[in-house]
Amino acid sequence: MHKLRAWARVLYRCAAGSICIGFAAVSSATSPRVFTGRPFLRVRVLRSQKKIEIDGFGPNINGVRLGPTLLPVHMRVRISREHGIWFVRAEPGSGLLNSVVGRPVASAIRSRAPTLTISGSMLKFNGQLQPPAAVVLEARSNRFDVVENLPIGEYLEGVLPNEMPIHWPMAALEAQAVASVSYAEAESLARASEGFDVDNTVESQVFNWQTYAHLTFAGQRKIARILFETRGRLLIGHNGKPYLAYFHSDCGGATELPQNVWGNGAPQGVVVHDSYCLLDRHNRWHARLSLTELQNIFRANLHGFNGGLRGRRGELRNIKIASYSPSGRAEQLTLATDDGSLKINAQDFRRKVGYARLKSTLFSITRVVGGFEFSGRGFGHGVGLCQHGARFMAMNGSNYTQILMHYYPLARLIDIEPIQLRAPLSATVVAQSN
């Protein structure tokens, strides 16, 4: 059923005015290109692969069509890399065209090229439907990364429904779209020397185009409208470069400074006190951890926490908050053991315990029988745009510009032309927080 729905989406987009080759949209009237500093982004969708299976219509590798040259028949392609050599094996797949033109013969290719460029229609990588785009396999010794060269509009199609619920208010989704573009552009500058601009995981932003392909027509039209309304909009910093627009689920009432989360020593932003996300009924959370559980976590991570637990074998007796960040989050924790006390970073502590257990570092600690009770607010690192806060701002009548200026008070929202972002931008300022 999902496969039929995905085909229906593509056929619909073809009927809506796209240029289609072998039933796959190359560009779409429902997917306007969003011009920012560059029209395309290199998205790493798979990393450190030893082999991959691709199936689709009319696959083309480094300019060589696999199968008949006149009609894009269905083919299955297996690619691996060993001893610095690409091994490509193509076999005929199923499909109506295969039975009409006759099943193509299998073919094999070997190559020592540093990259393989793949194109085709309705391509799937390891069973996952991909957007219509040129794909590059970048060699990493005997492994390889899979990188898609995507128009920014199609990149956002795969980001928005994965980073924010598509049924949320338009203004919140529009603010998310601008934040996502700005974040991607800023990250791409930092990776100028690498073979990709952004990852498809939470390390960058979650990108999965298959989520978009399975949306209803109404959902896809809503995303198209969001992209149209925010086209050409970008957040920039005081240096004229794209603003690293972090975002998270719920700030719990106050946003955090990035240097207090990642310790990169690069101050950006200010603490924003936010009453909107407090309207969320899931804003508060509780987690109970036993002494035994915490002791096991610490013993399994003796080399973590800046090495502070190395060599300590005494039982854990107590844990307290030693210091707070300006936003009210725990910054340093004091652990009391039989061997004495030591301080650990609260972000490290949360990572070791698990992000799902400790939803944020905005918590208090209470000693209870057999362990500790953590009572907190919010979900995520707390830096930048608070998604639940943006939702309630939109429900209360704020537009996306007001939302962005609330959470990024040191940034400017600009309209830009399709120019390169390698130099500071020259553009019209749309909005700037006072």
Considering only residues 112 and 330, tell me which one the structure prediction assigns the higher pLDDT: 330
For 243-261, b where at least 16 C-beta lie within 10 A, e where not — what string?
A: bbbbbbbbbbbbbbbbebb
Query: pLDDT tens for residues 347-359?
Result: 999 999 999 999 9
- Report the DSSP pairing between strands 385-386 and 247-248: parallel
Identify the weakest region by mean pLDDT among 98-107, 187-196, 377-386. Answer: 98-107
Considering only residues 115 and 363, tell me which one the structure prediction assigns the higher pLDDT: 363
Q: Do the beta carbons of residue 16 and residue 29 sit within 8 Å?
A: yes
Whole-model pTM: value is: 0.80
Cα torsion angle, 153, 158, 159, 162, sign: positive
Q: Please determine, for residue 265, whether its predicted confidence score (pLDDT) is greater than 70.
A: no
- Report the DSSP pairing between strands 40-49 and 24-27: unpaired
pLDDT, residue 28, reads 34
pLDDT, residue 7, reads 37
Q: Could you tell me which of 17, 36, 34, 14 has the C-alpha nearest to residue 25?
A: 14
Q: Where are the alpha helices (DSSP H) in 16-71?
A: none
Q: Do the beta carbons of residue 182 and residue 235 sit within 8 Å?
A: yes
Average confidence (pLDDT) over 281-297: 89
Cα(416)–Cα(37) distance, integer angstroms: 8
Cα(96)–Cα(410) distance, integer angstroms: 57
Sheet holding 412-415, edge to edge: 233-236, 412-415, 428-432
Identify the weakest region by mean pLDDT among 153-162, 186-195, 301-310. Answer: 301-310
Q: Record the tokens describing residue 337, joined without a space.
A: 């053991």
Burial bucket for residue 107 (CB in 10 Å: 0-12, 13-18, 19+):
middle
Question: In percent, how much of the chain has pLDDT > 70?
Answer: 78
- Give every CB contact of residue 203 below 8 A, 6+ residues apart in sequence: none
Strand, coil or helix: what is 67? Answer: coil
Considering only residues 251 and 129, tell me which one the structure prediction assigns the higher pLDDT: 251
Q: Could you tell me which of 151, 162, 150 has the C-alpha nearest to residue 219?
A: 162
Q: What is the mean pLDDT of the chain?
A: 80
- Give every CB contact of residue 102 below 8 A, 6+ residues apart in sequence: none
pLDDT band at 417 (very low <50, low <70, confident <90, very high): low
Average confidence (pLDDT) over 167-178: 98
Amino acid at site 307:
G
Q: Please determine, for residue 408, whether its predicted confidence score (pLDDT) is greater than 60.
A: yes
